[in-house]
Structure 1
């Protein structure tokens, strides 16, 4: 016979219960009671003066009536105390020692079964006048099952274990449903204080106290965000259920419910931001406008995840599983990984689309968002899986960076392919110049990011790469240009070369200089207006371009006004101190014709930069008006007054100034009519 003896007796500490279970037909003062569901596995025993064996022929109904008469009035509190006393008494016993099981144990299990049977999701199932919650009872059933497991070699004990295990399974199913319900309840997640969550098996005045269970205060919540949005009271209930399920051996079920529910809720949060799962094929088929919108949403989601979603989710998992940090860490890590993989898949799809210049800035926004996300998550996750996920994020960022480099370098092809043979009317700023400089200006607003991207992904040819610091014209050491700076200079050189070619399309050499001045000034104004471009191009490059502009101006002055000023020279007008009137008349006629022609042509030319326009007019006036006034003052007297004078002297100095101020307005003018003499 097995050494372990399981005796079901009335405990000595409960005289009321002991007396109430005496039977009329038995005279033994302290009977050994084996209930109907235990007796068939009970070991053989002999009857003596102090013990009576109840054979297994009794029916369940008779056993129940005899063992638990109707006049027994034992509260769940009393039964719970008996369970606690029993658990305490066998805590240090060896499994081979006989253990007496109080009859109140069965009464307690029956009471728990009734509570479970009564439970309807959403209802308050607390019994009248009961201060012991169902959750507390389930905790005791779990502990009871574990304690009786020490006596598994005894068949009677095994039967009782089977019973408590069945109750525990049903209880865990109930807890699992309640756990899911609390997590899914939209009223709870909305933070609406007027909508009270159901109190299924919690009694606020007597909670099931769990180890290291910190009370969550209302004022501890972060008022800056409503995510995940559960009230502290609900978080505490989730914590109690999770702790109970895990301590009862139902960790897998608990974690599965939590994972599925929180994943669905998190995806709903992303969906509310407009984020949708888009396949790689669908992304490839999208036109740029809808794809641009999808990228904008993706960036918003990334920033939201970086800001509150992930931190809120991590805090929730830690609050629900405070005594199981490994579990909470794993649950959060798995959820985060699932979301991040979705976001990375979108990057992969975007990076595979056809490259075009307009995509650069959205790609840079994506790159920056992803770059900010990585260090933000570094502080949230520390497990081994993080390194793997981090590696995937870095790989996705690398592919996006390669696309960015490729798109920016496509600017070279855009400039090279612009080979139009039609000159821009009036020598105005060429559309290619405007496009390129605006593109470069906006791109350089991402200077730090582009520097980083090119540093990591651009492969500089050996011919372009410098082996060390360079020296300037004064033999001063200067920093080696960065890869992005080298690329930008290459773009600017290509633009200059293209504009030089386009300037040759003008038949009028003076107009070609106006074209160069217009485009050169536009480029310099963009560079002056952008500290980033100026830093990248450097002072030396900027000084060289400013010098080129001054030279274009001088060339224009010489080409346009040199011949005009030649008419106002003294050479050839006098012979032996005598003014030759025919030559003088021809000089005035030539001057009038040249000035008329210049005014007619160059008033239609365009100089849109007001400063450059003013500089040109002032410089022209500074050389033409004084020379004309002097010439007129010295030689006007040699012409006959009256009609002859009017015939050859069409302009006064003030007229010249007025007509010069009409140049470069883009308004074609007819031949000049005489305004005053």
Structure 2
């Protein structure tokens, strides 16, 4: 920047100084000295006594000024520097080609600044930062003036005219070099102090007792230093491990480093240390750095534990992000765009680390047991998205929201694929080995327990299937409407509500496919009665699980439940028809009489057949299994209600036609009470004790 020659202005200042006014600059212009010579001293320079006279005159003028001038202190030098910094701006408007004259006090000012920096930067007894706030302020002010001087002189040197003397340019270059060296040393010191404040205060704060409020936030404590006006109103107590004084000093140092051209160094220190600190905080919460490749190679048991830790860490990271943003905004309060850039850089790195883990999990090989952890992670990401605008700057929030939605979608897609695999696992279970005793099939237990736990995530699964229904339809390989499979004739497909949610429809398909599979397995049993017991056992188990889960019950609906209850009653009827109706045939009156008389051989055969059949039923069906106590009781009561009255009536009417004694004992082996006892031994799943031994 071009400036006007300051000799004229400097001369006026000297006149004021000679008149006894405050000295602004010790620089004397040679012209002014000549103007003040006596008239008789204007002889040509050829006079041999002229040179001594000139020296004498300079000494007289110097003696006139300097005794009244106080020693130049840093405070006074700073005032002079401020005046100097202001002048070129005005002169530049008048004459861009003016040469900038450097006042003599500049060297003294630089000496004072060097001395101050040396005091801070060297020696075992160098003062710690913020030991004497006034001294710290003076140093920062001095460094600020050094930076301004360097910029001014550098710009002026570039724009000065070619008419400037070589000697003048060399002097300026020398001065610029010296100021540059001083600034570099000062910035090196400030850089180190900035780093130490970021490191040491965090460590010391961790060891100091900290008081928190009911929400876990640190309660503000009193400090001797008052907040700077630029930070007034800020709540320093919420910074991540830093007191308000430390944040204030960080702000001041950052301001001087950035204004002095050391923005890169300042920002590098800040981002590295704060990223390390943030990662340490995450590690204290239990989160380890794991790459996506490592995630996919981990055993599920280990990964399952890491997922639980990830969920906990992600939820606890919200206040960390919030306090970190506040710290950046306060340390770089004078540079809002820079503070947002630094925080965004930090937040993005940490958030992407968390998201990469979730994405790695979503990419692992699918298996049924992973569904619930996938849904837990999905819920965690779903909950954080609406709060991103509060946690991150707009641009960063938009970017992270996009990344989070992408990872959430992948988790959702994987969850749907896993759930839809349940259809395929049911369909592929084509085993022909019957379950002993007609008990509940393992497939039924697995499917219903899986659905029970899955439906605890009902709202999340509804959201997942609603959002990714197209993916769900494309992924599933077993659909009755796609493959034309024949389900139950009474399938609720025919009456399905058109407004049924995608997840509810999926659940209904699973239940229908399970019913169809069980009917196929029931046909494996050669005993039709046992196949009915099998269907009763599995049907009751399904209903009980649905009744015990309000989520499944609400999804399946009352109509479906009534239909399944009706099916159970039908299986019960089929069982009684196949077993006990045949037994009751032995007690039929038809053919027992001829010509009004009881035919004894036929009667004896009827009692004999009843005994044999009942013993066989008891022997066989005591090994059958009905694990549901209510169903077991219902069956026993139902059997007794059918058999005992009929047997009692038959025996009461026809036992008299048998000869008392051995003949009666031979053909009437059971009393009605015995029948009830033996019926109560059915469906225990263990062979019964021999009836003959019990009778004796």
State the TM-score, normalizing by the size of structure 2. Answer: 0.79
In the other structure, the counterpart of 2:134 is 131
In the other structure, the counterpart of 1:38 is none
In the other structure, the counterpart of 1:583 is 602
**Native 8 Å contact 1:275 1:298 kept in 2:** yes
1:129 positional shift: 9.1
CA distance in structure 1 between the aligned counterparts of 2:423 and 2:129, rounded to whole angstroms: 77
1:550 positional shift: 0.9
Aligned pair in 2 of structure 1 residues 489, 129: CA closer, same or farther (>3 Å)?
closer
Give the match's secondary structure for 2:537.
Answer: helix
Aligned pair in 2 of structure 1 residues 254, 588: CA closer, same or farther (>3 Å)?
same
Aligned pair in 2 of structure 1 residues 135, 206: CA closer, same or farther (>3 Å)?
farther
In the other structure, the counterpart of 1:612 is 631
CA distance in structure 1 between the aligned counterparts of 2:326 and 2:26, rounded to whole angstroms: 56
In the other structure, the counterpart of 1:32 is 27
Aligned pair in 2 of structure 1 residues 187, 205: CA closer, same or farther (>3 Å)?
closer
1:355 positional shift: 1.7
**Native 8 Å contact 2:129 2:193 kept in 1:** no
In the other structure, the counterpart of 2:34 is 48
What residue ranges of structure 2 are gaps of 5+ in the alignment?
38-50, 52-62, 211-222, 483-490
CA distance in structure 1 between the aligned counterparts of 2:447 and 2:358, rounded to whole angstroms: 27
In the other structure, the counterpart of 2:503 is 484
CA distance in structure 1 between the aligned counterparts of 2:101 and 2:404, rounded to whole angstroms: 62
Aligned pair in 2 of structure 1 residues 569, 669: CA closer, same or farther (>3 Å)?
same
In the other structure, the counterpart of 1:673 is 692
Deviates more, 1:99-108 or 1:335-344: 99-108
CA distance in structure 1 between the aligned counterparts of 2:684 and 2:413, rounded to whole angstroms: 46
**Native 8 Å contact 1:606 1:665 kept in 2:** yes
**Residue 245 (1) aligns with residue 246 (2):** no
Corresponding pairs, count? 626
1:409 positional shift: 1.6
Aligned pair in 2 of structure 1 residues 11, 237: CA closer, same or farther (>3 Å)?
farther
Match of 1:552 among 568, 571, 577: 571
CA distance in structure 1 between the aligned counterparts of 2:410 and 2:129, rounded to whole angstroms: 59
**Residue 427 (1) aligns with residue 427 (2):** no
**CA deviation vs aligned residue, 1:548-596 (integer Å, no higher than 9, x gap):** 1111111111111101122223322233432222222222222211111
Counterparts in 2 of 1:49-448, with a 5 A limit?
49-50=35-36, 75-80=73-78, 83=81, 96=94, 105-120=106-121, 123-124=126-127, 131-133=134-136, 134-143=139-148, 145=150, 153=160, 160=175, 163-185=178-200, 187-188=202-203, 190-193=205-208, 212-214=230-232, 221-222=237-238, 228-305=240-317, 307-448=318-459
1:515 positional shift: 0.8
In the other structure, the counterpart of 2:46 is none
CA distance in structure 2 between the aligned counterparts of 1:31 and 1:251, rounded to whole angstroms: 36
Aligned pair in 2 of structure 1 residues 281, 427: CA closer, same or farther (>3 Å)?
same
**Native 8 Å contact 2:413 2:468 kept in 1:** yes
Aligned pair in 2 of structure 1 residues 653, 130: CA closer, same or farther (>3 Å)?
closer
In the other structure, the counterpart of 1:26 is none
Give the match's secondary structure for 2:430.
Answer: coil
Aligned pair in 2 of structure 1 residues 14, 650: CA closer, same or farther (>3 Å)?
farther
Give the match's secondary structure for 1:379.
Answer: helix
**Residue 507 (1) aligns with residue 508 (2):** no
CA distance in structure 1 between the aligned counterparts of 2:130 and 2:103, rounded to whole angstroms: 23
Give the match's secondary structure for 1:48.
Answer: helix
Deviates more, 1:475-484 or 1:510-519: 475-484
**CA deviation vs aligned residue, 1:115-169 (integer Å, no higher than 9, x gap):** 2223248941689999332224323434555666786548567765554444333
Give the match's secondary structure for 1:354.
Answer: coil
CA distance in structure 2 between the aligned counterparts of 1:463 and 1:643, rounded to whole angstroms: 65
Aligned pair in 2 of structure 1 residues 602, 189: CA closer, same or farther (>3 Å)?
farther
In the other structure, the counterpart of 1:60 is none
**CA deviation vs aligned residue, 1:286-342 (integer Å, no higher than 9, x gap):** 32222323333332332222x322112112112222333222222111111112222
Aligned pair in 2 of structure 1 residues 374, 119: CA closer, same or farther (>3 Å)?
same
**Residue 493 (1) aligns with residue 512 (2):** yes
Deviates more, 1:367-376 or 1:269-278: 269-278
**Native 8 Å contact 2:4 2:91 kept in 1:** no
CA distance in structure 1 between the aligned counterparts of 2:230 and 2:309, rounded to whole angstroms: 42
**Native 8 Å contact 2:3 2:91 kept in 1:** no
What residue ranges of structure 1 are gaps of 5+ in the alignment?
23-29, 35-43, 55-65, 196-203, 466-471
Match of 2:647 among 628, 633, 641: 628
Aligned pair in 2 of structure 1 residues 14, 488: CA closer, same or farther (>3 Å)?
farther
CA distance in structure 1 between the aligned counterparts of 2:228 and 2:366, rounded to whole angstroms: 59
**Native 8 Å contact 1:216 1:236 kept in 2:** no
CA distance in structure 2 between the aligned counterparts of 1:185 and 1:672, rounded to whole angstroms: 88
**Native 8 Å contact 1:4 1:95 kept in 2:** no
Aligned pair in 2 of structure 1 residues 540, 150: CA closer, same or farther (>3 Å)?
same
Give the match's secondary structure for 2:627.
Answer: coil
CA distance in structure 1 between the aligned counterparts of 2:131 and 2:328, rounded to whole angstroms: 34
Deviates more, 1:172-181 or 1:380-389: 380-389
Aligned pair in 2 of structure 1 residues 446, 194: CA closer, same or farther (>3 Å)?
closer
**Native 8 Å contact 2:287 2:313 kept in 1:** yes
**Native 8 Å contact 1:4 1:96 kept in 2:** no
**Native 8 Å contact 2:438 2:534 kept in 1:** yes
1:206 positional shift: 7.9
**Residue 662 (1) aligns with residue 681 (2):** yes
Deviates more, 1:654-663 or 1:96-105: 96-105
